[in-house]
Copies of this chain bind each other. A is one copy, B any other.
């Protein structure tokens, strides 16, 4: 029988990481977020900073990537995607867990019994959070959010050909800004 896995995709600043951790607490299962980056770093030889950055933009811009794909040149982002594919598949084989980000929903679509979740919130809620919780500079957090959103969507689209944030790609999507972070975790836990 396939393991039950909760995958959480999220807009930057929406609290997806916190919701993932809280969701995992009650059933007492692992939540892979920062730990996943560490595993990818150990296996690929890339730095954690590079991996975090590469998880949020299509490789080398669309044109550069189309060029290298066409002529069969390998690139770091594609190599990292392969490692990521392998690591996430192995984690899902080990047992039930929560995986935040990294296109786990797509990678595991035929390999696990996934509950695919997307967390989002309005700009104001997320801007406040990234300043208060992540210590981001206060000058134009909205601009930073827009850039991050754009890059995550492009990355997701590039590797999965799925539209990021479309309700139809998920089992449930939750607005953490209106529902609250705790309530989002409660709803997901109730579906585990």
Contact = CB atoms under 8 A, between A and B. Distances in A.
A22 interface: no
A170 B176 CA distance: 11
Q: How many copies does the complex hold?
A: 2
Interface string A152-170: 0000000000000111101
Contacts of A171: 174-175, 178-179
30 contacts: A118-B167, A120-B167, A120-B168, A165-B166, A165-B167, A165-B168, A166-B166, A166-B167, A167-B167, A167-B170, A167-B173, A167-B175, A168-B175, A170-B173, A170-B175, A171-B174, A171-B175, A171-B178, A171-B179, A172-B172, A172-B173, A172-B174, A172-B175, A172-B179, A172-B187, A173-B173, A179-B191, A183-B191, A187-B187, A187-B191
Interface of A: 118, 120, 165-168, 170-175, 178-179, 183, 187, 190-191
